Structure 1
Amino acid sequence: MALPFSLVLYGLAIWAELRGALTLTGGEFVYPLDDTYIHMSLARTLALHGVWGITPQEFSGSSSSPLWTLILAGLFAAAGANAYIPLVLNVIAGAALVFVVDRALSPGLHAAWRLAATSLIVFAMPLPTLVFLAMEHVLHALITLLFVFAAAAIYRGETVRGRVAIVAALAFALVGARYEGLFVVIPVCFLVWARHGLRPALVIGAAGIVPVVGYGFFALSQGGFFVPNGLLVKAVAPLLGHPPPEGFHSRSPVLPLWFLIALSAVLLFDRTDRRARFLHLSFLPAAGLHLGLAATGHLFRYEGYLIPLGVVAIATQVAVFGFHPRFYTNASRLARTLFWALIVAPFLIRGGMAALITPRACANIHGQQVRMARLVHARLDEGAVALNDIGAVAWFGAVPILDLAGLGSDDVARLRIQGRFGPEAIRPLIREHGVRLAMLYDSWFRGALPPEWTRIGEWMTPDNVVLGDARVSFYAVDPAAAERLKRAIDDFGGAESGGD
């Protein structure tokens, strides 16, 4: 009976967050991150125009999940560009994740403990929030588990030849879903190599590299970069001494992940079997690589895929051998109770924070990005707009866009990587794209904007929990058009008057 209860819990958690979000947005469903609309816009453009870009005008390497983009584009082409399709996919993927975890633990773990494990994953991942993000993260977590479970069967000595093809296919899908999938593929390849030799490990590793290389050569053929713009602007540029705009990194509590790492490491040296050892040795290096090389946070999404893997690794061993580290078996009952309270508390805090933040994040996107998109669509139907958060405007606004953050405009990304981003570099791009209006966070562009731009107003969004800045400023690129643009904004619903 653990699985039905787990699915009901999962459904209730989603319902609670949905109800909270709709209350704050006046009954209108809005995703809690602008990035969701970036994926949707990219998939729509690909489905309707055959262009890999935010708008039909140009290619842009805006997605770090080629597989998710292709899935969405296929569904948009077949069923129309419906904004609810990504949400439905994520609800299904989340239910599948709960099912897979329950089935993986069912051979040796009591139903009550399986329910506890799946509940921990639902709350601490946190699964409802990642479902509401409606991007690739839940699918990525699901494929991660399927990949590791399939590879564990090889490691245990079961039939290798037929299973290598399955594991290789899952490696391809895992990295195609998110490049962080390589953090899991790498240790699995070494484990397979140690157990069965180099050839199957090379096959699995090569399959994991194919999405990276395939996308890279495709992007180069379109005039883009070998890796997606987000990775370049957020990761590569800082290594070259050119930091990304402020606000690109938002942290979330990762203490639960550190606790899982500590427990997994302790249990690895306790009594274990081959399957549990494989799961530990897959999880620990993957978590270390992620924490060392990748980001965490921004609504809990980046590290979320590791939590199910860590919980399953620990629960698999406990199911067979119990929990018997020396420090624990020698402790009093009170000390054991305090130990588990200390372990569980960060998971509950992370889940509670997610439940509180997600509806407010929906309200933030509704009050800023969606409002900007409707302004552009209703009042500013001539020329392009310059932005730093492009998703909602691209999805709802249907106008040409110049992304001054660099995620949706390769020319800007190139300038940022080269350290040449500034007024002199921006001016020709503005002319080339026919930009009339810029809607930007001043905090992201200190000293970088052309001084001749006229600031014509600003919007403030209260109770900001997810926006790069609560204050978005409006600029007339051509001072001669400032009064007309300001009047259009005021007629729409008003920017607070402001000038420098």
Structure 2
Amino acid sequence: MRLYQLAAVIMLSVLTTVLVLTCLARTDGLLVYSLDDPYIHLSLAETILQGGYGVNQGEYASPSSSIIYPFLLAGAIAIGPNNWMPLVLNILPMMAVAWIFAGIYWRHAVNPAAQSSVMVAIFVLPFLLYALNMVALPLTGMEHPLHILASLWIMVGVIALANGQGISWMLISGIVLAPLIRFEGLALSLAALVALVVYRHIRLALVTGVVLGLCLTAYVVFMTRLGLPILPSSVMSKSAIAETAVDGGFSGILTTFKDTLWVGVARRAGAVVLIAFALIVLAISEPSRTRADTVIGMVGGFAVFAHLLAGDYGWFGRYEIYVVGIAMVSLLYLYGPWLREKTNRLWLRIVGTSALILAVAVPYLRVQNDTARASENIFAQQYQMHRFSTEFFPYPVAINDLGYVSYQNEIYVLDLWGLGSEEARQKNRRGEFRTEEIVGQTENKTIAYAMIYTEVFDEAIPAEWCRIATLTTPAVTAAYADVDFYLIERERESEIRLALEAFRQTIPDVASLGIQSCQDGA
């Protein structure tokens, strides 16, 4: 088994290295992540190191989707090269995930005495990596590999607990860390605490629960003292459940649960999660199942069900990936005896299992295929916007896609969408961010110009703004291909025009910049 686990880690290392080098070849040797989102965390981490919390010094905001990841990132960039630290914080836990997941598969799905079972295990190894998006996920630069690792720690710990192997440090650590890494981790942590109680470790469950509760309470107090909502703006902007709970009260939560479930299962990833939940329920419903089977199935099944009700999917194969891991571990354990049983039909079972793993892995193979192009996309769009705002026209700027523009930028950045500005988020949520609100925000912050997706604001863009340029790039993970530059302080027209002309000479071939006169674009 150890050899199989080592092979998984080596294979992941090679595949990830090749992917990183491929990305670097498309971005002039600069490490650029496949999403703009990690640059929000980097910007927040920079502010944390300066004693603040947000993307602009002296202005509080909570744009991060994780409680502890920005602080981990702040510690990392304090000792290492800023741009590479998210990759380091992703690759290391992902290697641990590969080791643990390969071990689980070998232990529960492989019969070492059957040559055909071993041969299929060797064949399916790369697809085990892709089934949890292990190759492409580190290039997103986000906290998801850490979340998967904490989730696997909990599942491995619960399996050990249920089988009389004692309390694992992984179980206790995972219970505390999972919700601090991603809020979705709370469901699995609560289920694991119940498992501790079931096996009469009541005092340990209480202490662990209190530690987790204190951590979450400290975060809530911290946010409240800063005058911010108890959930990050990024979570409320992307989660209907979170936004309804915090901004709209609890009356609409049941309706939102229903809507999330139906919308989710209509998507491929949601359908896979639903099928996994059904298979878990089917397994623990069998009368012959042991108490251990039932507890493990209920812990994993509860987390899967919670994601069906409140979770999201997609966003470059990252939102659902932790629950895919939980579901696969649960299913491998519950159906393991059937998979390993040596009969003349063993080959049929293992081939069928391999086919299911392949089916789960295929979408994430596509994500890996798109990762280098996505990195190039962020390089051509958001990184170039960052360059323009810091090197060519360093004045306060308004944007609607927070990320690279705010990273390593000491000039004020106004986020009109609301991740970096709680006032803007609330106005957007209430549908009040009309033309007069945009004018008020930009005048209050003395914004000189804007770089935005015109489609996002439709007719709310003030008529007095001058559309002076358009940056056109591919659209892989960027929301739109065109970013429009609007001049707000019209007396700076000659200055911005000179800056745009100089900037146009430096952008990569994959991008283009069209410049027009204010008279034509007003």
**Contact in 2 for aligned 1:264/1:284 (Cα 8 Å):** yes
List per-residue Cα deviations over 1:3-59 (Å, max 9, x = no partner): 222112212221232233223323332111111111111112212x11111232322
The amino acid that maps onto 1:491 is A
- Pairwise mapping of residues 109-148 of structure 1 onto structure 2 (< 5 A)? 109-110=110-111, 112=118, 119-148=126-155
Residue in structure 2 matched with residue 433 of structure 1 by the alignment: 445
The amino acid that maps onto 2:362 is I
TM-score for the superposition, normalised by structure 2: 0.83
- Pairwise mapping of residues 163-242 of structure 1 onto structure 2 (< 5 A)? 167-196=171-200, 201-235=205-239, 236-237=242-243
The amino acid that maps onto 2:189 is V
**Contact in 2 for aligned 1:193/1:201 (Cα 8 Å):** yes
Residue in structure 1 matched with residue 368 of structure 2 by the alignment: 355
Residue in structure 1 matched with residue 259 of structure 2 by the alignment: none
Residue in structure 2 matched with residue 293 of structure 1 by the alignment: 310
Q: Secondary structure at the match of 1:378?
A: helix
Give the stretch that moved more between structures: 407-416 or 147-156: 147-156
TM-score for the superposition, normalised by structure 1: 0.86
Give the stretch that moved more between structures: 138-147 or 285-294: 285-294
The amino acid that maps onto 1:357 is D
Residue in structure 2 matched with residue 376 of structure 1 by the alignment: 389
- Pairwise mapping of residues 303-382 of structure 1 onto structure 2 (< 5 A)? 303-322=320-339, 339-340=352-353, 343-382=356-395
Residue in structure 2 matched with residue 403 of structure 1 by the alignment: 415
The amino acid that maps onto 2:41 is H
Structure 1 residue runs without a partner (length 5+): 244-248
Residue in structure 1 matched with residue 115 of structure 2 by the alignment: none
| Cα shift at 1:174 | 1.1
| Cα shift at 1:282 | 2.0
**Contact in 1 for aligned 2:450/2:486 (Cα 8 Å):** yes
Q: Secondary structure at the match of 1:394?
A: coil
Q: Secondary structure at the match of 1:295?
A: coil
List per-residue Cα deviations over 1:229-269 (Å, max 9, x = no partner): 1122223447879x9xxxxx9x8745544443344333334
The amino acid that maps onto 1:214 is A
List per-residue Cα deviations over 1:122-180 (Å, max 9, x = no partner): 112201111111221001110111123224444445657xx6x9745432211110101
CA distance in 1 between counterparts of 2:129 and 2:214 reads 32
**Contact in 2 for aligned 1:90/1:131 (Cα 8 Å):** yes
CA distance in 2 between counterparts of 1:467 and 1:304 reads 21
- Pairwise mapping of residues 402-421 of structure 1 onto structure 2 (< 5 A)? 402-421=414-433
| Cα shift at 1:379 | 1.1
| Cα shift at 1:182 | 1.0
List per-residue Cα deviations over 1:65-103 (Å, max 9, x = no partner): 1211111112223x1552111211211111111222244
The amino acid that maps onto 1:361 is A
Which of 41, 44, 47 does residue 45 from structure 1 map onto? Answer: 47
**Contact in 2 for aligned 1:233/1:416 (Cα 8 Å):** no
Residue in structure 1 matched with residue 481 of structure 2 by the alignment: 470
Taking structure 1 as reference, are residues 399 and 65 closer, same or farther at Cα in structure 2, changes over 3 Å only?
same
Taking structure 1 as reference, are residues 64 and 210 closer, same or farther at Cα in structure 2, changes over 3 Å only?
farther
Give the stretch that moved more between structures: 174-183 or 278-287: 278-287
Give the stretch that moved more between structures: 133-142 or 165-174: 165-174
**Contact in 1 for aligned 2:156/2:171 (Cα 8 Å):** no
Residue in structure 2 matched with residue 458 of structure 1 by the alignment: 470
1:70 to 2:71 alignment: yes
Taking structure 1 as reference, are residues 303 and 403 closer, same or farther at Cα in structure 2, changes over 3 Å only?
same
The amino acid that maps onto 1:421 is F
Q: Secondary structure at the match of 1:33?
A: coil
Residue in structure 2 matched with residue 265 of structure 1 by the alignment: 281
Residue in structure 1 matched with residue 31 of structure 2 by the alignment: 29
Residue in structure 2 matched with residue 447 of structure 1 by the alignment: 459
Residue in structure 2 matched with residue 495 of structure 1 by the alignment: 513
CA distance in 1 between counterparts of 2:332 and 2:124 reads 7
The amino acid that maps onto 2:150 is I
CA distance in 1 between counterparts of 2:306 and 2:450 reads 39
**Contact in 1 for aligned 2:381/2:473 (Cα 8 Å):** yes
Report sequence identity in percent: 25
Taking structure 1 as reference, are residues 446 and 374 closer, same or farther at Cα in structure 2, changes over 3 Å only?
same
List per-residue Cα deviations over 1:199-257 (Å, max 9, x = no partner): 6555444444444332221011112211111122223447879x9xxxxx9x8745544
Which of 297, 302, 308 does residue 319 from structure 2 map onto? Answer: 302
1:97 to 2:80 alignment: no
CA distance in 2 between counterparts of 1:159 and 1:340 reads 30
**Contact in 2 for aligned 1:385/1:437 (Cα 8 Å):** yes
Taking structure 1 as reference, are residues 263 and 342 closer, same or farther at Cα in structure 2, changes over 3 Å only?
farther
| Cα shift at 1:115 | 5.4
**Contact in 2 for aligned 1:459/1:472 (Cα 8 Å):** yes
Taking structure 1 as reference, are residues 256 and 358 closer, same or farther at Cα in structure 2, changes over 3 Å only?
farther
The amino acid that maps onto 2:284 is L
| Cα shift at 1:339 | 4.7
CA distance in 2 between counterparts of 1:406 and 1:20 reads 34
| Cα shift at 1:370 | 0.2
Q: Secondary structure at the match of 2:414?
A: strand
**Contact in 1 for aligned 2:284/2:294 (Cα 8 Å):** yes
Q: Secondary structure at the match of 1:435?
A: coil
Residue in structure 1 matched with residue 508 of structure 2 by the alignment: none
1:392 to 2:396 alignment: no
Which of 150, 153, 156 does residue 149 from structure 1 map onto? Answer: 156
| Cα shift at 1:399 | 2.0
The amino acid that maps onto 2:515 is S
| Cα shift at 1:287 | 1.6
Taking structure 1 as reference, are residues 448 and 340 closer, same or farther at Cα in structure 2, changes over 3 Å only?
same
CA distance in 1 between counterparts of 2:16 and 2:85 reads 16
Taking structure 1 as reference, are residues 332 and 174 closer, same or farther at Cα in structure 2, changes over 3 Å only?
closer
CA distance in 2 between counterparts of 1:218 and 1:441 reads 33
Q: Secondary structure at the match of 1:90?
A: helix
Q: Secondary structure at the match of 1:196?
A: coil
The amino acid that maps onto 2:277 is I
RMSD: 3.2
Q: Secondary structure at the match of 2:514?
A: coil
Residue in structure 2 matched with residue 284 of structure 1 by the alignment: 301
CA distance in 2 between counterparts of 1:333 and 1:100 reads 25
CA distance in 1 between counterparts of 2:28 and 2:478 reads 19
Q: Secondary structure at the match of 1:290?
A: helix
